[in-house]
Amino acid sequence: MSKVKTDVLWAIVIVFVLGVIIGYFIAVQVSQSPVQPSTRGVLVPDNNVLFLPDDAYYGNLTWYLDRANKSVYVVMYVVKYDTSQYNDPVNVILRKLVDLHERGVDVKIVVDDETRNSYPATINYLVGNGVPVRLDESQGRTTHCKIVVIDGQYVFIGSHNWTESALKYNHEATILVNSSELASQVEKYIESIWSSGRSIS
């Protein structure tokens, strides 16, 4: 085969491969309909997972909390209720949980001793409003999870603690998964922590 024919053949192969790659990325972009409440998330092609970087977490979490009607289960390393700032994002989340509890939604929250020791106002606010809260099983155990499961369907799992810094300023990353199968597994995990946890009077 002559050099000219070889060069032409390689050019055709390269153009074909580039066309396939570009076509794939265009198809993925077209298939990603904006069905989630935040445009800052990035949907994967099956539309069941949303990546929530930085402050995208807060908008999505509050959107789903506003629509919760059955259950909200939380395991959170640090929750910082701020008595001096009414509109602190954590305060907003906690007020929503109190409202859900008062409406009859099953709300359970497990926190690490770090929350009780560093931010006792958090415990006082939740317990004072009747929200079920427990510590993990012992002071020797660190519960570093940041998990929220809503209505046995929506799972938030990632790095966001419930502090103003994490919700507004830090680089954080959480995945939101729309899956009853995953939610069921995570709820069993949360229940195991809850059932062995320490009551807060």
The CATH number of the domain where 149 resides is what? 3.30.870.10
My answer on whether 24 and 94 are in the same domain is: no
Q: How far is CA 108 from CA 7, 8, 28, 87, in A?
A: 67, 66, 38, 23
191 and 115 share a domain?
yes
Structural domain that includes position 69: 40-199
Give the pLDDT score at 53.
Answer: 95
Residues 19 and 110 in one domain: no
Question: In the prediction, which pLDDT does 112 show?
Answer: 95
**Are 19 and 46 members of one domain?**
no
Q: How far apart are CA 142 and CA 115, in angstroms?
A: 11
Note whether 48 and 131 are same-domain residues.
Answer: yes
* Same domain membership, residue 121 and residue 27: no
**Minimal CA–CA distance to 170: which of 60, 2, 52, 36?**
52
Query: Do 127 and 96 fall within a single domain?
Result: yes
- Do 78 and 149 fall into the same domain? yes
Distance between CA 41 and CA 39 in Å, rounded? 5
Total domains in the chain come to 2
Does one domain contain both 75 and 137? Answer: yes
**87 and 2 assigned to the same domain:** no
Per-10-residue mean pLDDT, the chain, length 201: 61 60 53 47 63 95 96 97 92 98 98 94 96 92 94 96 96 94 93 92 64
Distance separating alpha carbons of residues 89 and 98, to the nearest angstrom: 14
* Beta strands, E only, 56-179: 71-76, 106-111, 133-135, 146-150, 154-158, 173-178
Looking at the fold, whether 162 and 132 belong to one and the same domain comes out as yes
pLDDT at 147: 98
Task: Quote the pTM value.
Answer: 0.77
Identify whether residues 3 and 92 lie together within a single domain: no
